[in-house]
Amino acid sequence: MKLEIDESRCKGCNLCTLVCPYKIYRPGSRPNRKGIYVPEMDRPERCPNCRLQELYGRRLCGMCALICPDQAIKWVPEKPYEPMKVVIEY
């Protein structure tokens, strides 16, 4: 799972920066095309839902997505992690 902020919906209120217990979000530094400072993500792989949702089979935490007034935060499925095939060259 991967966290994603939908830039077409985000209005830059920064509520996600307040509620995330892992401080994954921080206020944006650059305005986007609509002039909105969309929050940036700091090492989103720390999000427990990203890592553990499939293991537990249910939504974990989810504060950011619940509080986001603009329905802009969601998780998108990622391909399961495949250990990189290592090719050894002789």
Q: Does 58 bind another protein (CB under 8 A)?
A: no
Q: For tokens 């909105």, what's the residue?
A: 36
Smallest distance, another protein to C-beta of residue 14, A: 6
User: What does the H/E/C string look like for 43-77?
Assistant: CHHHCHHHHHHHHHCCCCCCHHHHHCCCCCEEEEC
User: What is d(CA 44, CA 25) in angstroms, rounded to the nearest whole number?
Assistant: 8
Q: Is 52 in the site for another protein (CB under 8 A)?
A: no
Segment lying near another protein (by CB under 8 A), choices 46-54, 63-71, 82-90? 63-71
Which residue, 30 or 88, is less far from another protein as judged by CB? 30
A 10 A CB-CB count for 52 gives 14
Is 67 a residue that touches another protein (CB under 8 A)?
yes
| Contact between 13 and another protein per CB under 8 A | yes
For another protein, the binding residue among 1, 3, 5, 12 (CB under 8 A) is 12
